[in-house]
């Protein structure tokens, strides 16, 4: 992973994880506040219920002219204290602070919740019942721990999801960059051969050595460079969407291409033969030229030296057969994909057959391939559905 990819990954993770945690944090905060309120209400009700029991016992005792004898409650978690009207302590087994805020009916300290119940009877010396419990505070502390833990686990989970998601999103970008890097390298390699031949031929021509042969090499190299440029331009500028359909002779177009590539194939001593039937089609001429040129160029590229390339047009089917390295069955499935190359040694960009496939798809032309390893390949295109019949 290069520097720019790392920066993009870190930026994506920061934004994704940060925004996700912000949303989760808000939800957890709202949940925490609701739970705290619910805990306080529950604690308030429990203390109120316990205080009412004590108040009832006190009033019953004095109604029967008996002195109230304090005793511990059944719940050890709830404690209480009794105060007179002057707020002097009568009885207590509180664990909380000595100070009691008699101005509030329900409040909390750092460790306890308190609830104060009043007895408004003149003949009863007990005025205040102060209830105390630590359950609410403990539950609140536990809720804090669980909330923080939930946020931490969410951060880990979101981080993992964000990382794998970013890897998935970056994968096609990385593949595209890899293809472009390979494309640039292949461009340099593909152009190197005709340019080297061109420069050598010019040098030999200056010395007056075999001028006729050198001129053929110069012409062949120039046409190769032109063909490479046309493929790059056609693919890079997406000329697939530009179409001007017209009626023209397919056999004449193929014948011109055969003549054109005969000058290129001279460097491998390959002979291109043709057998063409007269056919008129209605199609974009430039795209048709691309179909024909790429198949012939591909056959020359992957043919063995000192062999033939047979070009035929019969019954509306255009085919190009070479006697080269051939294509395995596994490669035949992938060969029409963009940047897929049959043999790295032979050069090429891997865009020629992709262009052929896309044009055939647009015009609903059937594209076939028959190939055997070390015997050669035959590419064919069925033009029957666009042939103009007399």
Residues in the chain: 390
* pLDDT score recorded for residue 184: 67
As for how many domains the chain has, the answer is: 1
259 within domain boundaries: yes
3-state secondary structure of 132: strand
Question: For position 189, what pLDDT does the model report?
Answer: 58
Domain membership of residue 129 (yes or no) is no
Cα–Cα–Cα angle for 224, 227, 232, nearest 5°?
125
Residue 304 DSSP class: P
Count of helix runs (H) and strand runs (E) in the chain: 7, 12
Residue 8 in any domain: the answer is: no
What are the CA-CA distances from residue 263 to residues 57, 187, 237, 328, 333 (Å)?
118, 21, 28, 29, 32
Considering the domain boundaries, does residue 141 fall inside one?
Answer: no
153-211 confidence digits (pLDDT tens)? 998 998 888 888 877 877 777 777 776 676 666 566 566 656 776 787 788 778 777 77
Domain carrying residue 364: 210-386
Q: Is residue 223 part of a domain?
A: yes
Backbone φ and ψ for 2, nearest 5 degrees, come out as -80, 180
Question: Looking at residue 313, what is its pLDDT?
Answer: 95
Q: What does the pLDDT read at residue 344?
A: 43
**pLDDT tens-digit map of 349-376:** 456 787 888 889 889 999 999 998 888 9
Mean pLDDT for each consecutive 10-residue tract of the chain (390 residues)? 72 85 92 90 89 90 84 82 90 76 86 89 88 85 90 90 81 73 63 71 76 74 72 59 83 90 83 93 89 88 90 94 86 68 47 81 91 90 86
Residue 200 lies in a domain: no
The dihedral formed by the CA atoms of 209, 210, 211 and 215, expressed in degrees to the nearest 10 = -120
Residue 143 domain flag: no
The secondary structure of residue 310, as a DSSP letter, is E
- Answer yes or no: are the C-beta atoms of 340 and 350 closer than 8 Å: yes
pLDDT of residue 253: 92
Q: What is the pTM of this model?
A: 0.50
**Considering the domain boundaries, does residue 333 fall inside one?**
yes
Which CATH number fits the domain that encloses residue 373? 3.30.565.10
Rounded Cα gap, residues 126 and 83, in angstroms: 6
pLDDT at position 159: 86
d(CA 220, CA 135): 93
How far lies 360's CA from each of 52, 216, 303, 389, in Å? 90, 34, 24, 20
Check: CB of residue 370 under 8 Å from CB of residue 349: no
């Amino acid at each position: 992973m290069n520097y720019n990819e790392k920066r993009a990954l870190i930026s994506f993770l920061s934004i994704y994880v940060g925004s996700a945690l912000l949303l989760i944090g808000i939800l957890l905060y709202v949940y925490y506040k609701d739970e705290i309120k619910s805990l306080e209400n529950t604690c308030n009700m429990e203390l109120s219920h316990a205080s009412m029991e004590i108040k009832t016992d006190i009033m019953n005792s004095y109604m029967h002219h008996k002195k109230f004898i304090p005793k511990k409650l059944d719940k050890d978690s709830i404690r209480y204290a009794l105060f007179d009207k002057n707020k002097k302590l009568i009885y207590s087994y509180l664990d909380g602070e000595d100070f009691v805020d008699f101005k509030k009916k329900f409040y909390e300290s750092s460790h306890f919740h308190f609830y104060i119940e009043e007895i408004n009877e003149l003949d009863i010396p007990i005025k205040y019942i102060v209830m105390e419990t630590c359950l609410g505070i403990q539950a609140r502390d536990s809720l804090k721990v669980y909330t923080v833990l939930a946020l931490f686990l969410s951060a880990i989970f979101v981080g993992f999801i964000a990382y794998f998601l970013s890897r998935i999103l970056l994968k096609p970008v990385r593949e595209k960059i890899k293809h472009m890097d390979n494309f640039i390298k292949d461009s340099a390699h593909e152009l190197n051969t005709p340019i080297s031949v061109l420069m050598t031929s010019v040098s030999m021509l200056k010395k007056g050595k075999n001028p006729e042969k050198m001129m053929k090499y110069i012409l062949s190299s120039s046409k190769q460079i032109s063909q490479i440029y046309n493929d790059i331009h056609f693919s890079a500028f997406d000329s697939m969407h530009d179409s001007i359909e017209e009626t023209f002779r397919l056999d004449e177009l193929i014948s011109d291409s055969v003549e054109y590539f005969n000058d290129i194939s001279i460097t491998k001593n390959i002979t291109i033969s043709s057998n063409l039937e007269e056919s008129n089609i209605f199609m974009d001429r430039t795209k048709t030229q691309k179909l024909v040129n790429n198949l012939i160029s591909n056959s020359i590229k992957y043919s063995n030296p000192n062999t033939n390339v047979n070009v035929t047009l019969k019954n509306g089917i255009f085919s190009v057969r070479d006697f080269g390295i051939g294509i395995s069955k596994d490669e035949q499935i992938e060969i029409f994909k963009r940047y897929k190359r049959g043999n790295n040694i032979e050069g090429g960009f891997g865009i020629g057959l992709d262009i052929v496939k896309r044009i055939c798809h647009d015009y609903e032309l059937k594209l076939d391939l028959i190939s055997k390893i070390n015997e050669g390949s035959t590419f064919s295109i069925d033009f029957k559905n666009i042939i103009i019949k007399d």
